[in-house]
């Protein structure tokens, strides 16, 4: 189906089912339950899941296939956001032109950075990309203030000269982003007993775009171009000895990866029309590296799992406070309850990075291949049990000689 083999088709269907049914999957606990703290079926959070999934899929095309580790991919995320907001300010509040412009501008920016950075490999390439990203951050933060609005960030105003749309609504407010009239913030709520599910227009637009991006990534992985990228990762020197120049392939991978990042930035601005320099910081670049490694670099579904893992735990652990912990451990004696809360306090709220760091360390130590390797181990375990059961049945049914 769609030019994919059976295995890849099954994987695409699984990702599509998980994405489209996310409002149900991410809200397993009743709204009034104490465990509702672990629900994640909120429109803004689900949007971040799929947007950062796109970001990680694109990064994986560069890092997972070629082995080139970029520490500056947040620059393309920021460029995509700024491009989208400027399209909203000057042309229309329709998200399609903004997303297209974000991808194009990010691709052109990636050509420039990639052409210079790919003259080196290994750690030198990583340092060059980091330097370009920090330079972009500083330019956006101070030098290019007329374009980026500096530390305040670029945002919509009532004075924007919108060519194909109104600058203000009838009640005098700023128009909202839309897809041919369908507002990105429009949400339908469905109550099923004690459960409440939210279906957001913006989320489903991002989800469909992520599925298309995932499909394109599969085609890239299975194409002759993807095989050339794997050859570069395996032994670039040997590839050069065969008479093939690896630079056009690595540059193409870098540009495609940058366009994915620009797409993610454009979608972020489409959901919330604001672009700031903080999206270009080195921490944002490091985050996508963690997502890819945590999920499984070089695998298809790994970056998506890694992005969902990090964003889920970031949301859950950052909003847990001492009052919630006291509610959970209220059944304990007072002294023991206070002791447990004191022990857990550094790992929640503002200290959620510590918890995420521990989880990341455990995954890297025990699952070097990421979450995908964990899933493969579980699958092999179940297959082993089934094969053992079948062999036992065959032994029992066979008469002894």
DSSP-assigned letters across all residues of 253-279 = HHHHHHHHHHHHHHHHHHHS-EE-GGG
Structure confidence at residue 345 (pLDDT): 87
Report the run of H or E that residue 64 belongs to, with start and end: helix 43-66
Q: Are strands 187-192 and 274-275 parallel, antiparallel or unpaired?
A: unpaired
Provide the token pair at 353. 């990075």
Structure confidence at residue 391 (pLDDT): 54
Mean pLDDT by 10-residue block, N- to C-terminus, for the chain (401 residues)? 84 92 90 81 91 95 93 93 93 93 96 93 91 92 88 86 80 86 89 88 94 95 93 86 89 96 94 89 88 90 90 85 83 86 86 85 86 86 68 46 36
**Which of 258, 251, 299 has the alpha carbon at shortest distance from 65?**
299
Provide the token pair at 15. 């990702």
Structure confidence at residue 250 (pLDDT): 94
Structure confidence at residue 388 (pLDDT): 57
- Distance (Å, whole) CA 146 – CA 130: 24
Beta strands in 210-340 (DSSP E): 274-275
Contact 67, 231 (CB under 8 A): no
Structure confidence at residue 399 (pLDDT): 42
Q: How far is CA 170 from CA 117, 157, 197, in A?
A: 50, 15, 31
Contact 280, 137 (CB under 8 A): yes
Structure confidence at residue 378 (pLDDT): 86
Structure confidence at residue 385 (pLDDT): 64
- Distance (Å, whole) CA 4 – CA 246: 27
- Distance (Å, whole) CA 317 – CA 352: 5
Structure confidence at residue 137 (pLDDT): 92
List Cβ<8 Å contacts ≥24 apart for 155-161: 155/85, 155/273, 155/274, 155/275, 156/85, 156/88, 156/89, 156/273, 157/89, 160/88, 160/89, 160/90, 161/89, 161/90
Domains of the chain (ranges, CATH numbers) = 6-282 (1.10.3470)
Q: Which residues contact 311 (CB under 8 A, 6 or more apart)?
A: 45, 48, 49, 52
**Which of 196, 252, 273 has the alpha carbon at shortest distance from 23?**
196
């Amino acid at each position: 189906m769609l030019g994919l083999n059976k295995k890849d088709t099954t994987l695409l269907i699984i990702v599509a089912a998980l994405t489209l049914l996310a409002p149900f999957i991410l809200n397993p606990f009743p709204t009034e339950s104490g465990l509702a703290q672990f629900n994640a079926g909120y429109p803004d959070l689900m949007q971040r899941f799929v947007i950062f999934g796109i970001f990680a899929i694109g990064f994986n095309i560069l890092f997972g296939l070629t082995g080139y580790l970029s520490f500056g991919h947040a620059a393309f995320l920021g460029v995509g956001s700024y491009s989208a907001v400027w399209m909203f300010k000057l042309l229309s509040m329709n998200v399609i032109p903004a997303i297209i412009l974000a991808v194009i501008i990010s691709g052109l920016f990636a050509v420039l950075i990639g052409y210079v950075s790919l003259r080196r490999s290994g750690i030198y390439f990583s340092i060059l990309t980091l330097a370009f990203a920090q330079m972009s951050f500083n330019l956006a933060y101070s030098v290019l203030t007329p374009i980026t609005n500096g530390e305040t960030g670029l945002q919509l105003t009532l004075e924007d000269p919108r060519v194909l749309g109104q600058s203000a609504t009838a009640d005098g407010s700023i128009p909202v982003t839309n897809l041919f009239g369908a507002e990105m913030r429009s949400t339908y709520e469905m109550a099923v007993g004690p459960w409440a599910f939210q279906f957001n227009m913006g989320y489903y637009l991002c989800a469909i775009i992520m599925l298309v991006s995932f499909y394109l990534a599969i085609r890239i992985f299975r194409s002759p171009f993807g095989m050339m990228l794997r050859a570069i990762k395996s032994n670039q020197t040997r590839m050069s000895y065969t008479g093939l120049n690896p630079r056009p392939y690595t540059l193409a991978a870098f540009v495609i990866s940058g366009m994915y990042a620009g797409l993610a930035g454009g979608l972020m601005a489409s959901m919330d029309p604001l672009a700031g320099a903080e999206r270009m910081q080195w921490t944002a670049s490091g985050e996508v590296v963690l997502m890819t490694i945590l999920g499984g670099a070089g695998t298809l579904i790994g970056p998506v799992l890694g992005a969902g893992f990090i964003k889920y735990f970031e949301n859950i652990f950052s909003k847990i406070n001492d009052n919630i912990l006291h509610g959970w451990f209220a059944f304990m004696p007072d002294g023991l309850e206070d002791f447990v809360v004191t022990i857990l306090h550094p790992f929640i709220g503002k200290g959620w990075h510590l918890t995420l760091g521990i989880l990341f360390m455990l995954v890297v130590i025990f699952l070097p291949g990421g979450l995908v390797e964990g899933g493969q181990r579980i699958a092999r375990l179940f297959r082993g049990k089934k094969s053992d059961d079948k062999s036992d049945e065959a032994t029992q049914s066979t008469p002894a000689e």
